[in-house]
Amino acid sequence: MRVLFVEKQIDYEPQGIMSLSACLKEAGHEVALAIAAQEDPIQVAREFEPDIVGYSVMTGSQRWYQELNLRIKAALKDKAPFAIFGGPHPTFFPEFIEEPGVDGICIGEGEGPIVDLANALGNGGLKPDIPNWWFKIEDEIVRNPVRPLIRDLDSLPMPDRELIYRKHAPTRQSPIKHFMGSRGCPYNCTYCFNHAYYQIYKREKRGNQRSVDHVIQEVKWVRERYPLEQVVFLDDLFIIYDDWLEEFAEKWPKEVGLPFFCNVRANLIVKGPHKVELLRKAGCHCVSMGIEAANDRIRTELLKRRMTKEEMIQAGRMFRDAGIHITATNILGLPTSTLEDDIETMRLNAAARISYAHAFLFQPYPGTELGQFTQDHGLMEGTFDDISSIAWERSILIFENEAEKHQVEHLQRLFAIGVEFPWLEPVIRLLIKLPHNRVVDTFFWWLHKLFKGYAIYRRVHPIKMNPLSLLKTAIHYMRMEA
């Protein structure tokens, strides 16, 4: 079968699509990719003539993909492809199957399901009872249960990176590339999908990890073929298991020796300070941790993040003292929070010596506990369809004071600067009172982008680039939506 994946844009390697493509190719199917930001997906579909067209969809982008899918089906009406949707939005909002043009949605992990579907269609017709799939067959919805999670991640083929690198020059040429060594997360943060995910996969182990050797094998394969100077690990589980981290710290410097970036959790670091030393030994250059909110009630009760401000400050300083940079994620405009709460979060980041502070406007994603809380309490304007695909344009929450809402939206752009220069807080308080208009919004956008670019290039991912490569990277970065 011929399978075409369509992506709106490529920010970095889409791990899910690469894994699905590898499994499909291993099963004998042909796979292609269309990137809407650089080509016409409809023309690609006309030339490739896919039997299946697939979309990985996050909430906020579902309407864009649905409308594009209808246009592709119309363009190929003589042999319309079977249209499938996977990713977070269909998984947590499976009613999406009822939308026009949607033939199937995949809930949860997709490697086995997509191969089973391609095999069935290639062998003469659709089998309606494939686990993980919901199908629309003659206006009837067929809802199948999910199969068990893949526990042995080493059993999967190496992700099909060539699918991305052949098509997308900025990712291929970048000396920074992204990898995953595990799947899953044991925590229940209310704004995240993990707790909802394990409502689907009940009684499953909350996280599975690849072996150290398997991860190293993939990184070495990439380095032999493409530019690679720094590795970014996207895992939630990277530092949880001491035995895995100890083995990694022993083997990585000897077999790879590249600086890397990974995610950490403040309370795990404070309770296990040896983890900092293991990361330093392995060659970690930068880590990221979630701060999210400084207010104790919001952080512990609303977000269910069981850690203290003191732990976050201590963890940040431990990394900086070890010569490791640290970034942090923060959520502004949370339900029941105020502008002063967000200012307090900015101060907490500064106290933790954060090298770069990411700030996002809260998005009430469907399927998450906090998204449901927002909807149940009437704190959201519109519906889930109004959620932006990027989390730093506008808030869709209802604030008691509309002026304060606009100030929180402006603060998102200036947050990292306030963390870097705490003495600018009085100036920032004045700036965020400016109205929303084209001039002000554009000015804040440039401030945000330029400072972020500086911090990422000098601290988070410091790599050597010639002037031309740096210019190309900057242009690509400025054009990205998110």
pLDDT digits over 383-395, tens only?
666 676 555 568 8
435 has pLDDT over 70 = yes
Instruction: List the structure tokens of 179.
Output: 């990898």
pLDDT value at residue 28: 97
Higher pLDDT, 477 or 10: 10
Strand order in the sheet with 176-179: 176-179, 230-233, 260-263, 284-292, 325-332, 356-361
Which of the four pLDDT bands, split at 50, 70 and 90, describes residue 191? Answer: confident
Q: In which band, very low, low, confident or very high, does the pLDDT at 421 lie, cut at 50, 70 and 90?
A: very high
What does the pLDDT read at residue 339?
96
Query: Which one is predicted more confidently, 58 or 225?
Result: 225
What is the C-alpha radius of gyration for the chain, rounded to an integer number of angstroms? 23
Q: Identify the pLDDT of residue 325.
A: 97
Residue 471: per-residue pLDDT? 59
Lowest mean pLDDT segment, chosen from 282-286, 390-394, 450-454? 390-394
pLDDT at 476 over 60: no
376 pLDDT exceeds 70?
yes
Count of helices and strands (H, E) across the chain: 20, 15
pLDDT in the model for residue 482 = 47
Q: Are 32 and 61 in contact (CB under 8 A)?
A: no
pTM > 0.75: yes or no? yes
* Comparison of pLDDT for 237 and 149, the residue scoring more: 149
- Segment 131-137 shows an average pLDDT of 96
- Which residue is associated with the tokens 């035995």? 243
Which residues have C-beta within 8 Å of that of residue 474, sequence separation ≥ 6? 453
Give the pLDDT mean for 419-431: 97
DSSP secondary structure code for residue 458 in this structure = I
What are phi and psi for residue 290, nearest 5 degrees?
-85, 125
Q: What percent of the chain has pLDDT over 70?
A: 94
The secondary structure element, H or E, covering residue 220 is: helix 212-225
Q: Is the per-residue pLDDT at 190 higher than 80?
A: yes
Mean pLDDT, to the nearest integer, of 233-240?
Answer: 92
Half-sphere exposure of 228 (CA within 13 A, CB side): 20
| pLDDT higher at 473 or 351 | 351
17-31, 149-163, 383-397: which has the minimum mean pLDDT?
Answer: 383-397
* Mean pLDDT estimate for the chain: 92
Residues paired with residue 208 on neighbouring β-strands, in sequence order: 183
Amino acid in the structure at residue 117: L
Give the pair of three-digit tokens for residue 100.
């026009």
Helix (H, G, I), strand (E, B) or coil at 372: helix
* Range with the poorest average pLDDT among 66-70, 443-447, 456-460: 456-460
Q: What is the mean pLDDT of residues 402-425?
A: 96
| Mean pLDDT computed over 376-381 | 86
CB 337 within 8 A of CB 297: no
**Is the pLDDT higher at 346 or at 138?**
346
pLDDT of 478 higher than 80: no
Q: Which range is least confidently modeled, 140-154, 170-184, 370-384?
A: 370-384
Under 8 Å between Cβ of 222 and 161: yes
